[in-house]
């Protein structure tokens, strides 16, 4: 899970509440494959990358992948997402890759495994071969055009796409220029005003957050967004947690399932670092995330959110990068995610270029 944290941890992803506006209104729009070639995203059209008539591959068993395979598959999925939909917030390549590794690597993240619609999103993205198939993963209710306020704006999807944040350059019936599936960070999308600004948020959204606590399986975390409180938490059910627990103090926590190892009830619930791993004890069940397998270190100097101890996985290598820090070198894409440099050769995935727009890098057209 990846949620908002200060600049030491995240750029967005996946970033304070104002970051979404900066992300959108800075510079010119990103020309995605779907914007450049709408036929590439037409389900009935000749979608580049997929062999006509071939059924989609079966859902992979993430837990059969090695750490190296999980990282390579994470890069592949996130490269396709950025190329087809446009990088925005959590879908920026570096941040997306870290989130995908947490979903794909059962050794790095053995206790809070993706479930429900979070699992469905990553299982779908793990097998994409075309922009049309990326659309199917991102927009369960069907690809959604931009309508709304004049000028650049962000808004939430509707009619089955409520978990998706759209960046739009105009109120025309055109493709979005950037898309952030909020499921990447375990959230839904909330419109913050009359149609010009949207953000990924917890289930209570804007104006309904009165206390940081558990509400069913939801870990509610209240922050301020202007004059209204804003739920910045997650739904623990999206990570296989059987319940949310706030009885031990320190904020709401996701309780892992019975497969998690037991830990002493006396062990503090706060996140701690242990040999490159972050651990936490919740309702006598241990949560563990192996930061090293993500290319990161463990740092609890600034405590991570109680519901997401894995956010203590930050800074990669001896000289960590600082977000935003995306670049292209011919077809090689490099992007910073939580302080770790993530890279992919777009050509190895069949793309012809790598392009940087608004400081965000993405692979370009299919060859």
Sign of the dihedral defined by the CA atoms of residues 75, 79, 80, 82, in that order: positive
Q: d(Cα 2, Cα 351) in Å, to the nearest integer?
A: 28
Q: Would you place residue 55 in the very low, low, confident or very high pLDDT band (cuts 50, 70, 90)? A: confident
Q: Find where tokens 């750029």 sit.
A: 11
According to DSSP, the β-strands at 188-191 and 178-181 are unpaired
Helix-helix angle 131-138:67-85, to 10 degrees:
100
Q: d(Cα 70, Cα 62) in Å, to the nearest integer?
A: 7
Residue 125 has pLDDT above 50, yes or no: yes
Q: Find where tokens 């804003």 sit.
A: 230
CA distance to 89, 230, 355, per residue, from 23 (Å): 7, 19, 17
Please name every residue paired with 277 in a beta bridge, in sequence order, or none if there are none.
Answer: 274, 290
The tens digit of pLDDT for each residue in 188-208 reads: 999 887 668 899 999 888 878
The tens digit of pLDDT for each residue in 225-243 reads: 666 788 999 999 999 998 9
The number of residues making up the chain comes to 367
Biggest CA-to-CA distance, the chain: 60
| Cβ atoms of residues 3 and 331 within 8 Å | no
Most confidently modeled range among 8-17, 23-32, 177-186, 317-326: 177-186
Residue 48 has pLDDT above 70, yes or no: no
Give the mean pLDDT of 6-29.
Answer: 35
């Amino acid at each position: 899970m990846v949620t908002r944290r200060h600049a030491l941890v995240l750029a967005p992803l996946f970033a304070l509440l104002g970051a979404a506006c900066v992300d959108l209104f800075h510079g010119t729009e990103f020309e995605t494959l779907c914007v450049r070639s709408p036929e590439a995203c037409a389900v009935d059209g000749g979608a580049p990358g997929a062999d006509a008539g071939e059924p989609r591959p079966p859902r992979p068993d993430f837990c059969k992948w090695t750490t190296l395979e999980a990282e390579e598959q994470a890069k592949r999925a996130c490269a396709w997402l950025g190329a087809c939909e446009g990088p925005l917030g959590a879908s920026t390549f570096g941040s997306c890759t870290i989130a995908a590794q947490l979903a794909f690597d059962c050794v790095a993240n053995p206790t809070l495994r993706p479930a429900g619609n979070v699992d469905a999103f990553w299982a779908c993205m793990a097998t994409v071969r075309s922009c049309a198939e990326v659309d199917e993963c991102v927009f369960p209710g069907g690809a959604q055009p931009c309508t709304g306020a004049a000028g650049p704006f962000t808004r939430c999807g509707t009619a089955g796409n409520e978990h998706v944040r759209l960046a739009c350059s105009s109120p025309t019936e055109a493709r979005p220029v950037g898309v952030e599936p909020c499921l990447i960070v375990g959230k839904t999308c909330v419109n913050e005003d009359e149609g010009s600004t949207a953000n990924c948020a917890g289930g209570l959204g804007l104006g309904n957050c009165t206390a940081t606590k558990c509400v069913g399986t939801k870990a509610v975390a209240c922050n301020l967004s202007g004059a209204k409180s804003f739920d910045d938490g997650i739904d623990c059910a999206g990570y296989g947690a059987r319940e949310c627990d706030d009885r031990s103090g320190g904020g709401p926590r996701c309780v892992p399932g019975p497969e998690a190892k037991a830990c002493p009830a006396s062990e503090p619930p706060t996140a701690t670092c242990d040999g490159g791993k972050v651990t936490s004890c919740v309702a006598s069940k241990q949560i563990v995330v192996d930061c090293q397998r993500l290319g990161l270190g463990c740092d609890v100097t600034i405590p991570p959110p109680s519901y997401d101890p894995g956010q203590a996985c930050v800074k990669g290598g001896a000289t960590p990068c600082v977000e935003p820090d995306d670049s292209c070198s011919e077809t090689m894409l490099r992007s910073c995610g939580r302080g770790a440099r993530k890279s992919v050769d777009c050509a190895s995935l069949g793309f012809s270029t790598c392009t940087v727009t608004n400081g965000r890098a993405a692979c370009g057209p299919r060859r």
